[in-house]
């Protein structure tokens, strides 16, 4: 036989012998399995998509195009050579790719329509193992069918159906179609032998309760999720257009989950709007525009690239303001030194003059002090690392506002007392989120009073940092953890293309222009001309939407509700939604007067859809904080089962795949027990016996769960 196109004549010094074409139900070629021989033996290699590689799992069966009559029996053998011989005699027959130990990697679904299936095992140990695996796979298919085992008579050790036919066809090579004579009854003889040998598959092959006398396996129930919630799709088109284009482009450019650019951009909006605005929800209920986000992703997820791109407008605005103010600051400092020098000279004279002249000098000193200029301070919008003691001082110098933005989770160490001998210092952070007054009196330091502080936080720690938060003293009890909007995205490491285009200049610039415009918006003024926050109102239709949402969340705080175990977080969600809507509103109208019109329904709908998704992520985050090691390990094993498309496995197989995590096989028992309890797997009645070593417990996988993967 000439090798098909794409298959070499020689492979690993072995010569091409034969190739079998895998076809779909309509007969179209999907790929080939080629056999190469030499004196040392044979080697069978799959060729798919023009390469020497196996198709993705679950793999197609060989012989699909012969399955045309569901009312007749379907036959299953081990190997393409044997199946091809069956085809030549007009029999419906399939086999799986990869040999005796790969039955679990095949897609047996096409056999589902047949009510009678006959498996013909080879006459050796691998043949029996293959037949057992096939019977188990068929048992997991929906519906009912008769599954029979037919051990052909007269086979030698390792004999098979080809050997059975060759005994009747001397000289036949077993590869080409069997030579037929007019009127011979070779097909009838084979069918008679199969029917005579056919017997029901052993109960223990289909029933895990081996030896109990049970005749049916217990039906699978829907598994209980390992996570508190499934990771929901991130909503599209929630930000104002210029911002949304930037978020989408940054997501594509960095190949990061959408949650990361979205949450980091959200806190940049809050950093630009907080302090100057607050939103009135009711006559006596106001929300500031400060937001806290925590997006957990593994190291290597390009968090720094996203952080730098999102924060860039804040950096650029600070630099521009610095360039404008530095000459003014220098002139003011020079004038201040001059006037201070004159005042010091007058004080020296006053100290030496007579009592009658002292009042004259004091009046001159007072006049000079009234003329002394106030030296402007360089504005600071954000910081990455700052001590709790210095934070209120910096906020006092920056209109009571600050944003703490970091691509890591070191802030949690600071909050836990990194700079205060391990004693948590949370007050200024908690009050900065709520907008409640802060007063600090510390020994010889000047006192600090912040009537209405505004603090935004945006961090991107690793997932392990989030899991450890529950162990930080005071974090949960004092409400710190309840203030964060969490995102727990699925990592895409290992699935990125690494071929992306950068964010377009016009997209980056339109985003930056919006942030700069927000930062340049003027403060409001009270009746005495002092700076104060603008008060945003909410349009009636937007208020109706928010009220419905707030009532829905309130109901879920009750015993048995979705947020019953995190009422501290759930109770703050409606307020967070209002803050998000207000930030969207300010960004949308940043080139005009945001205070001149109410927050509209469009921004409220967007904020509420974002809040809905964030609520699912919060469930995942708090679940992670309370998760035990066995649950985490169970998730790891379940991901391996899904990735490998397993239909069954042994504990030995599982340990071999996870030796980096479990030093000893015994350590697997706890997570395997979790998966059994949750209904993802169940033990088989017999252990898997390897050629070397002790038997290893075998497990089968819930087919309903696997089919939905």
- CB-CB neighbours of 372 under 10 Å: 16
Which of these, 436, 442, 444, 443, lies nearest to 400 by C-alpha position? 436
Query: Would you state the pLDDT for residue 691?
Result: 40
Q: How far apart are CA 615 and CA 235, in angstroms?
A: 13
Task: With a cut of 90, say whether residue 370 has pLDDT above it.
Answer: no
Q: What is the mean pLDDT of the chain?
A: 89
pLDDT confidence bin for 302, thresholds 50/70/90: very high
Are the CB atoms for 352 and 358 separated by under 8 Å?
A: no
Residue 12: per-residue pLDDT: 82
pLDDT value at 346 more than 50: yes
Q: How many CB atoms lie within 10 A of CB 642?
A: 14
For residue 142, give the 3-state DSSP assignment.
coil
pLDDT value at residue 207:
53
> Do 178 and 171 meet the contact criterion of CB atoms below 8 Å apart?
no
Task: Spell out the domain ranges in the chain.
Answer: 1-56, 57-206, 241-324+379-626, 331-371, 630-707
Can you tell me the mean pLDDT for 101-109? 89
Please give the Cα distance from 98 to 106 (Å, whole number).
9
Q: What is the pLDDT of residue 450?
A: 94
The closest of 471, 481, 460 to 628, measured between CA atoms, is: 471
Please state the rounded mean pLDDT for residues 673-687. 80
What integer pLDDT is reported at residue 422 of this predicted model? 62
Give the range among 68-77, 209-218, 359-368, 468-477 with minimum mean pLDDT.
Answer: 209-218
Q: Are 569 and 482 in contact (CB under 8 A)?
A: yes
Mean pLDDT within 187-198:
94
pLDDT band at 419 (very low <50, low <70, confident <90, very high): low
CA atoms within 13 A on the CB side of 600: 10
Q: Which residue has the higher pLDDT, 62 or 472?
A: 62
Q: Which pLDDT score, from 0 to 100, does residue 288 have?
A: 97
**Rounded percentage of the chain residues whose pLDDT exceeds 70:** 94
Yes or no: say if 119 and 131 are a contact pair by the CB < 8 Å rule. yes
For residue 541, give both structure tokens. Answer: 């239709």
- Nearest 5°: the CA angle 57, 58, 61 is 120
Q: Where is pLDDT greater, at 542 or 236?
A: 542
Report, as an integer, the average pLDDT of 418-423.
64
Listed in sequence order, the residues at least 6 apart from 500 whose beta carbon sits closer than 8 Å to its beta carbon are: 252, 253, 254, 255
pLDDT (tens digit, 9 = 90+) per residue, 608-620?
A: 999 999 999 999 9
The top-level CATH class assigned to 630-707 is: mainly alpha
Q: How far apart are CA 72 and CA 87, in angstroms?
A: 14
Report the range of poorest mean pLDDT among 54-63, 328-337, 493-502: 328-337
Cβ proximity of 30 and 24 under 8 Å: yes
- Note if the bond before 58 is cis, omega within 30 degrees: yes
Give the residues across from 404 on adjacent strands: 383, 457
Residue 64 has pLDDT above 90, yes or no: yes
Check if the beta carbon of residue 625 is closer than 8 Å to that of residue 469: yes
Q: pLDDT for 165-175, tens place per residue?
A: 999 998 999 99
Q: Is the pLDDT of residue 481 over 90?
A: yes
Confidence of residue 601 (pLDDT cuts 50, 70, 90): very high
C-beta of residue 709 within 8 angstroms of C-beta of residue 639:
no
Please check the confidence at residue 695 and state whether its pLDDT lies above 70.
no
Each residue's pLDDT tens digit, 538-564:
999 999 999 999 999 999 999 888 899
State the Cα–Cα distance between residues 64 and 94, nearest whole angstrom. Answer: 7
Cβ proximity of 273 and 583 under 8 Å: yes
Residue holding tokens 């201040």? Answer: 336
Which tokens sit at 448? 């600090």
Q: Which two tokens stand for residue 573?
A: 């969600």
Select from 3.50.50.60, 3.40.1360.10, 3.40.50.300, 1.10.10.10 the CATH code of 57-206. Answer: 3.40.1360.10
Q: What is the pLDDT of residue 271?
A: 98
Answer whether 241-324+379-626 and 630-707 agree in fold: no
Q: Is the pLDDT of residue 595 over 60?
A: yes
Tens of pLDDT, residues 65-87: 999 999 999 999 999 999 999 99
pLDDT band per the 50, 70, 90 thresholds, residue 102: confident
Cα 52 to Cα 55: distance, rounded to the nearest angstrom? 10
Q: What is the DSSP string of 330-377?
A: HHHHHHHHHHHHHHHHHHHHHHHS-HHHHHHHHHHHHHHHHHPPPPP-
Which residues are CB-contacts of 298 (< 8 A; sequence separation ≥ 6)? 462, 463, 491, 493
Beta 681-683 vs 698-701: how paired, if at all? antiparallel
Q: Is the pLDDT of residue 103 over 50?
A: yes
The mean pLDDT of 593-616, rounded to a whole number, is 96
In angstroms, the CA 308 to CA 235 distance is: 23
Q: Is the model's pLDDT at 215 over the cut of 70?
A: no
What is the pLDDT at residue 246?
Answer: 97
Please compute the mean of the pLDDT values over residues 365-370 and round it to a whole number. 83
Give tens-digit pLDDT for 255-300.
Answer: 999 999 999 999 999 999 999 999 999 999 999 999 999 999 999 9
Instruction: Give me the pLDDT at residue 104, please.
Output: 86
What's 231's DSSP letter?
Answer: P
| CATH code of the domain made up of 241-324+379-626 | 3.40.50
Provide CB contacts within 8 A for 236, sequence distance 6+: none
What's the whole-number mean pLDDT along residues 511-515?
Answer: 98
When mean pLDDT is compared over 185-194, 464-473, 510-519, 651-660, the highest value belongs to 510-519
Burial class (CB in 10 A: 0-12, 13-18, 19+), 42: exposed
């Amino acid at each position: 036989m000439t090798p098909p196109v794409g298959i070499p004549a020689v492979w690993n010094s072995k010569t091409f012998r034969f190739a079998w074409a895998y076809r779909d139900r309509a007969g179209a070629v999907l790929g080939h399995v080629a056999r190469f021989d030499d004196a040392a033996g044979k080697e069978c290699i799959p060729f798919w998509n023009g390469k020497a590689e196996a198709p993705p799992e679950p793999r197609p069966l060989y012989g699909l195009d012969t399955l045309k009559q569901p009312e007749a029996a379907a036959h299953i053998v081990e190997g393409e050579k044997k199946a091809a011989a069956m085809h030549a005699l007009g029999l419906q027959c399939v086999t799986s790719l990869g040999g005796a130990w790969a039955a679990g990697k095949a897609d047996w679904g096409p056999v589902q329509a047949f009510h009678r299936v006959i498996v013909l095992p080879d006459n050796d140990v691998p043949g029996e193992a293959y037949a057992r695996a096939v019977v188990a796979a068929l048992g997991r298919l929906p519906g009912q069918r008769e599954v029979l085992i037919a051990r052909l008579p007269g086979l030698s050790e390792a004999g098979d159906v080809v050997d059975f036919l060759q005994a009747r066809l001397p000289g036949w090579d077993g590869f080409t179609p069997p030579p037929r004579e007019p009127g011979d009854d070779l097909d009838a003889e084979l069918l008679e032998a199969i029917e005579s040998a056919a017997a029901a598959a052993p109960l223990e092959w289909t029933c895990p309760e081996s030896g109990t006398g049970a005749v049916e396996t217990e039906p699978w129930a829907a598994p209980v999720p390992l996570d508190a919630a499934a990771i929901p799709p991130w909503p599209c088109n929630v930000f104002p257009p210029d911002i949304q284009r930037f978020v989408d482009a940054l997501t594509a450019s960095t190949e990061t989950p959408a949650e990361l650019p979205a949450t980091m951009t959200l806190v940049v909006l809050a950093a630009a709007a907080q302090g100057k605005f607050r939103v009135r929800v009711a006559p006596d209920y106001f929300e500031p525009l400060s937001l806290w986000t925590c997006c957990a992703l593994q190291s290597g997820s390009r968090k720094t690239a996203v952080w730098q791109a999102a924060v860039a407008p804040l950096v650029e605005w600070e630099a521009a303001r610095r360039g404008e103010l530095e000459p003014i600051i220098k002139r003011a400092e020079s004038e201040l030194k001059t006037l201070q020098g004159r005042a010091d000279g007058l004080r020296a004279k006053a100290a030496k003059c007579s009592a009658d002249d002292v009042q004259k000098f004091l009046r001159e000193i007072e006049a000079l002090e009234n003329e002394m200029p106030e030296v402007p301070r360089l504005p600071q919008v954000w910081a990455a690392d700052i001590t709790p003691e210095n934070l209120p001082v910096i906020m006092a110098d920056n209109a009571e506002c600050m944003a703490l933005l970091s691509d890591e989770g070191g802030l949690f160490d600071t909050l836990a007392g990194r700079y205060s001998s391990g004693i948590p210092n949370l007050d200024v952070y908690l009050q900065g989120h709520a907008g409640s007054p802060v007063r600090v009196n510390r020994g010889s330091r000047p006192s600090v009073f912040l009537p209405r502080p505004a603090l935004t936080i945006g961090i991107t720690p690793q997932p392990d940092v989030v899991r450890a938060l529950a162990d930080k003293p005071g974090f949960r009890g004092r409400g710190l953890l309840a203030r964060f909007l969490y995102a727990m995205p699925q990592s895409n490491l290992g699935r990125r293309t690494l071929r992306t285009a950068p964010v377009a200049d016009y997209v980056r610039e339109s985003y930056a222009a919006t942030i700069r415009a927000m930062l340049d918006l003027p403060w409001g003024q009270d009746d005495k001309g002092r700076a104060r926050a603008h008060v945003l109102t909410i349009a009636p239709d937007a208020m109706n939407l928010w009220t419905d949402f707030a009532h829905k969340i309130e109901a879920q705080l009750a015993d048995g509700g979705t947020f019953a175990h995190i009422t501290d977080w759930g109770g703050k969600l409606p307020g967070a939604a209002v803050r998000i809507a207000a930030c969207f509103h300010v960004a949308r109208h940043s080139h005009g007067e945001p205070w001149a019109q109410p927050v509209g329904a469009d921004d409220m709908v967007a904020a509420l859809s974002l809040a809905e998704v964030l609520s699912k992520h919060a469930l995942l985050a708090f679940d992670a904080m309370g998760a035990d090691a066995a649950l985490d390990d169970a998730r790891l094993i379940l991901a391996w089962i899904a990735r490998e498309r397993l239909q069954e496995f042994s504990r030995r197989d599982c340990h071999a795949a996870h030796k980096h995590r479990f030093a000893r096989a015994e350590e697997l028992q706890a997570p395997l027990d979790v998966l059994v309890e949750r209904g993802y797997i169940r033990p088989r009645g017999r252990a898997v016996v390897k050629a070397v070593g002790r038997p290893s417990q075998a497990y089968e996988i819930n087919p309903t769960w696997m089919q939905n993967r």
